[in-house]
Amino acid sequence: MTTDNQELRDKIERVYTEMGKVVVGQRYMVNRLLIGLFTQGHVLLEGVPGLAKTLTVNTLAKVLDLDFQRIQFTPDLLPADLIGTMIYNQTKGEFEVKRGPIFSNIILADEINRSPAKVQAALLEAMQERQVTIGETTFKLDKPFLVLATQNPVDQEGTYPLPEAQVDRFMMKVFITYPDKKSELEIMRRMANTNYKEEVNPILSSIDVFAIREAINQVKMNEQLEEYVVELIFASRFPRDYGLKEEAKYVQFGVSPRAGIALNRAAKAIAFMDGRDYVIPEDIKEVIYDIFGHRIILNFEAEAEGITTRNIIDGILQKVAINKV
């Protein structure tokens, strides 16, 4: 790693420290959000209410010193409320564009699954093409552009399942769990004090983000590991071909080609943040659950027997070995 890269890594560590002033015990979540930012991948956070999902994204936006917009998704939200619309200017006697909150660097789509499919679909073009169309005009979105969405578990009242096409556009889906006892105690001590208020300082600028992206692009993944990623992808699609007879009973669809792209980028990001300019197998295994988990579609039999995508991924990792590639 060059001196410049080490300076960037030091700044990333300072981000964790600064985030810790406000958010307790969520380093894993912050790490996945940073991977998404550095590799241009949107991130979906899922967890029950009260696990600091919104607070974490809000705080991260302040630490990154980027433009930020929070959009609260509700059942009555309209696509125009998201991307903008055409309004008539009586003074000029013509229609003009009123841009929506989507025109920002970081978008927090809060409780995204509380809005109907029409609004969720309005995000598709923005997330994939980094552009939106209002009337007959297409507008490029600001760079960097990142959608960080939160959702409550789909079995909660008032939620709508996200379309599979939209879920696939999220690079990672991160499940947020309850804090441990030590973190729980610290949260209680802080928040029980109504006067508690901690300000964070901006650490990373947009220039830093682009520099980190370029450094991650320079991280090497050898051909053997690239082939390993492809084998993992195909094992999710054709589990029987890999001796996964038990798992094959439950898999309806395997992962899409986006999974391979995401796994490649995320593994390089992990390597960079660990101070290496090359990827090792552990980098791939560290992020595969976040990338494959929401892309493997299970059948009703899996749901009835309590089989999760994590069980399927466990089987894939056991059967697909690097020395067999």
pTM equals 0.88
Token digits of residue 266: 């995320």
Q: What is the pLDDT of residues 278-317, one digit of tens each?
A: 999 999 999 999 999 999 999 999 989 989 999 999 999 9
pLDDT above 50: residue 222: yes
DSSP character at residue 323: G
Nearest to 266 by CA among 232, 315, 310, 307: 232
Nearest to 291 by CA among 164, 193, 171, 203: 171
DSSP character at residue 150: E
Look at residue 122 in the predicted model and tell me its pLDDT: 78
pLDDT above 80: residue 121: no
Q: Give the separation between CA 178 and CA 182, rounded to whole angstroms.
A: 12
Q: Give the separation between CA 201 and CA 19, rounded to whole angstroms.
A: 9
pLDDT above 80: residue 159: no
Instruction: Locate the DSSP E strands across 33-103.
Output: 42-46, 68-72, 84-89, 94-99
pLDDT above 90: residue 110: no
Look at residue 325 in the predicted model and tell me its pLDDT: 41
Mean pLDDT, range 159-185, rounded to an integer: 85
Q: Give the separation between CA 145 and CA 143, rounded to whole angstroms.
A: 5
pLDDT above 60: residue 112: yes
- Using DSSP's 3-state secondary structure scheme, residue 4 falls into helix
- Using DSSP's 3-state secondary structure scheme, residue 69 falls into strand
- Cβ-proximal residues to 198 (8 Å cutoff; 6+ apart), any chain: 21, 22
DSSP character at residue 77: -
Q: Give the separation between CA 83 and CA 131, rounded to whole angstroms.
A: 10
Beta bridge partners of 86: 97
Look at residue 242 in the predicted model and tell me its pLDDT: 92
pLDDT category, 180, cuts 50, 70, 90? confident
Tell me the CA distances in angstroms from 111 to 63, 72, 75, 146, 183, one per residue in order.
22, 7, 11, 16, 24
Of residues 323 and 78, more confidence is placed in 78
pLDDT category, 157, cuts 50, 70, 90? low
Look at residue 285 in the predicted model and tell me its pLDDT: 95
Q: Give the separation between CA 148 and CA 107, rounded to whole angstroms.
A: 6
Single-letter residue type at 109: A
Token digits of residue 9: 């890594």
Look at residue 251 in the predicted model and tell me its pLDDT: 93
Token digits of residue 190: 């802080």
Domains of the chain, with CATH numbers?
3-189+204-209 (3.40.50.300), 219-320 (1.10.8.80)
pLDDT above 80: residue 263: yes
What's the whole-number average pLDDT of the chain? Answer: 88
- Cβ-proximal residues to 189 (8 Å cutoff; 6+ apart), any chain: none
Choice among 51-55, 219-223, 280-284, 308-312 with the minimum mean pLDDT = 51-55
Tell me the CA distances in angstroms from 10 to 4, 29, 44, 45, 88, one per residue in order.
10, 19, 26, 26, 50
